Amino acid sequence: MVVGDFPIETDTIVIGAGPGGYVAAIRAAQLGQKVTIVEKGSLGGVCLNVGCIPSKALLSASHKYETAVHSEDFGIKAENVTVDFSKVQEFKGGVVKKLTGGVGALLKGNKVEIVEGEAYFVDQNNLKVMTEKASQTYTFKHAIIATGSRPIEIPNFKFNKRVIDSTGALALTEIPKSLVVVGGGYIGSELGTAYANFGTKVTILEGAKDILGGFEKQMTQVVKKGLKAKGVDIVTEAMAKSAEESETGVKVTYEAKGETHTIEADYCLVTVGRRPNTEEIGLESLGVKMTERGLVEVNEEGRTSVDNIFAIGDIVAGPPLAHKASYEGKVAAEVISGEKSEVDYLAIPAVCFTEPELATVGYTEAMAKEEGLEYKASKFPYAANGRALSIGETDGFLKLITLKEDGLLIGAQIAGSGASDMIAELGLAIETGMTVEDIALTIHAHPSLGEITMEAAEVALGNPIHTM
């Protein structure tokens, strides 16, 4: 018997088991759908396996080392601090294994059928799932495409042993003595920070005028100060030209200010962006509308130009954020299940785990100006917060963007320790339509970094206590 002769019927089929796909599958199953999820790699996608989670585990380990080496200000001095990098990788791998195993258990617990293989659309109600040995046809009522993205490979920087992408940087077996990072976005800055903490000589080459282009300059200035303190060289308006590999290293050639330069390092990490995985799954034959960049066009429900097919995550417009994909996955699942749901990106946060951390949600000053809003920007410095002083994390600030008319909070930016956690309160405040008076009247625990939010609200009201 030939496998695949008899189609298997399902209500909703999800292609890709990353943070968008597996969340969509679980929510659709919770709402009564018979759901099948197809994944050609590992459950959890890029985020859990070779992205968000392992990079944060590596960063955490690097923080531990840096703290052990540099705690003289606290009266603590350690000698002969060493790193067993194989143990670091073991720790990172353990974190990944727990989370990906958890995803599998959650899918099975919600009665989602998990299928391993590559999916290809035959028509708008059928697709084939192929493995090396066989293929199987699935007939579906709705499909959610959540195939994610992959690192962009630039000319003359072919990924190999010494020219690596983020996956390669997370899988190194030793701490490099030197590392060139091409691209100063959030991935390059985070991994550059991690290896700089371990003692690697890091050079960041960025083509734009500044690193971390998605964040305000006031915020990136704080990060640049921290990177330079770690000995990181940052070259902006630099165009990477070529990489020449040897057995022991790589020579990178770049142009900056009209001059050609070369730099040698153990590895060259290329992080210049990501490309959507929309090829070779049959979208063209279905007539699914796409942009020139290969992104799938969708409406506010996540619905493509083909009525019963939805797309979420990195393959649609917007920043490639795991929590954005998860949010879109829930919306698509709810729409498919007959509920009224649509995306609203106003209160979607973006976070970069540099030192200090950066986080933004809602409007920035530039966005408010562009829309002609009558707004007020109110800042409070970390240096005036007792908790920040007691943990030695005084660099940074929190800024609130409010409407002058009624004090409605429409945006917030944080550059400082704990920004990734603190931004949640501000996202909730925007989502629920709170004013700065609401925030200022909310009692925040003392001493805590959370007080900075309350203090910034008092600045906005014109009656700050702990700053002039």
User: Active-site positions?
Assistant: 446
273 is in an annotated binding site: yes
300 is in an annotated binding site: no
183 is in an annotated binding site: yes
435 is in an annotated binding site: no
231 is in an annotated binding site: no
DSSP lists the bridge partners of residue 253 as 242, 262
Q: Give the Cα separation of 67 and 209 in Å (integer).
A: 32
399 is in an annotated binding site: no
247 is in an annotated binding site: no
237 is in an annotated binding site: no
186 is in an annotated binding site: yes
* Phi, psi torsion values for 127, nearest 5 degrees: -145, 160
Question: Side chain identity at 193, as an amino acid letter?
Answer: T
Can you spell out the DSSP letters for 11-61? Answer: EEEEE--STTHHHHHHHHHHTT--EEEEESS-TTHHHHHHSHHHHHHHHHH
86 is in an annotated binding site: no
What H or E segment, with its residue span, contains residue 175?
A: none
**Contact between residue 167 and residue 50 where contact means Cβ atoms under 8 Å apart:** yes
62 is in an annotated binding site: no
Alpha-carbon Rg for the chain in angstroms: 24
- Both tokens of 206, joined, read 């960025």
Q: Give the Cα separation of 25 and 438 in Å (integer).
A: 37
**Contact between residue 43 and residue 176 where contact means Cβ atoms under 8 Å apart:** no
Which of these, 155, 117, 119, lies nearest to 133 by C-alpha position? Answer: 117
189 is in an annotated binding site: yes
Can you spell out the DSSP letters for 290-352? Answer: B-TTSPBP--TTSB-SSTTEEE-GGGSSS---HHHHHHHHHHHHHHHTT-------TT--EEE
**Residue 318, CB half-sphere, CA atoms under 13 Å: how many?**
27
Do β-strands 201-206 and 126-130 pair in parallel, antiparallel, or remain unpaired?
Answer: unpaired
Which of these, 419, 374, 426, lies nearest to 396 by C-alpha position? Answer: 419
The DSSP output letter for 468 is: -
| Cα distances (angstroms) measured from residue 382 to each of 73, 139, 415, 457 | 18, 56, 9, 14
DSSP lists the bridge partners of residue 243 as 252
190 is in an annotated binding site: yes
Angle at 270 between CA 226 and CA 148, to 5 degrees: 105
| Cα distances (angstroms) measured from residue 149 to each of 48, 137, 196, 279, 313 | 14, 25, 27, 11, 9
SS3 call for 91 = helix
The binding site for NAD(+) consists of 183-190, 206, 273
- Binding site residue list: 56, 147-149, 183-190, 206, 273, 314
Binding residues for FAD, by number, are 56, 147-149, 314
